[in-house]
Chains A and B, each alone.
Chain A
Amino acid sequence: GQQLNQSPQSMFIQEGEDVSMNCTSSSIFNTWLWYKQDPGEGPVLLIALYKAGELTSNGRLTAQFGITRKDSFLNISASIPSDVGIYFCAGRTGANNLFFGTGTRLTVIP
């Protein structure tokens, strides 16, 4: 399957700091998605990006669809303790083909 690499693998930050993580692939995707997964739960969609270059915000979250269509980043501003979790990027080529990244584990220290 497709390989999506996320970096960093894990982050430890102080509450209130901004966070940035990215996702790269050797393949082109038509849609980029960012999910958050809490322990023992399924992933929840945070942001969907549909066009190369698109920049979209959802509250304190901002994500961009790279112009090469092979990468995306997610920023979280002013982090809070409930931001803790694993963040996954996902790329989609067709209606059914959704490939997940390797994940970034975020820890927020109060």
Chain B
Amino acid sequence: GAVVSQHPSWVICKSGTSVKIECRSLDFQATTMFWYRQFPKQSLMLMATSNEGSKATYEQGVEKDKFLINHASLTLSTLTVTSAHPEDSSFYICSARESTSGDPMKQYFGPGTRLTVT
């Protein structure tokens, strides 16, 4: 099946610094990518949806100036957590949807990135 990778798989950073997380679709083109956040023992919450070449659409309550999303190509989206604080510590998961298909069978999740802010 299709593969979505994330890098890094885990990162520890100091409070006030910025962290960039990459999400790549390895064997397909992803017109749309999604970023989710998952706190321990909780569900996945959609943060934002990004279409290649367009500005991301953020869910209510998600600060767009704090969570910068860039979807510069059909295979790469990045999430930058700016001025990170301990409460930003979470598991960040990206998802990529193949081409223009709305079929959920064509939406694949990455393995996640665990961010710890000290």
List the interface of chain A (C-beta within 8 A of B): 1, 31, 33, 35, 40-45, 48, 88, 92, 95-96, 98-103
Given A1-B45, A96-B34: A45 and B112 interface contact (C-beta under 8 Å): no
- A-B pairs under 8 A by CB, number: 53
Given A40-B114, A41-B111, A41-B112: A92 and B34 interface contact (C-beta under 8 Å): no
List the interface of chain B (C-beta within 8 A of A): 4, 6, 32, 34, 41-46, 49, 57, 59-60, 91, 93, 95, 102, 104-105, 107-112, 114
B43 & A103 in contact (Cβ 8 Å cutoff):
yes
A45 & B114 in contact (Cβ 8 Å cutoff):
no
The 9 closest A-B pairs by CB, nearest first: A42-B109, A95-B102, A100-B43, A100-B44, A42-B93, A42-B112, A42-B111, A48-B104, A96-B49
Instruction: Name the prevailing secondary structure of the B interface residues.
Output: strand
CA distance in complex: A41, B64 (Å) = 25
Which of chain A's residues have a CB closer than 8 A to the CB of B60?
1
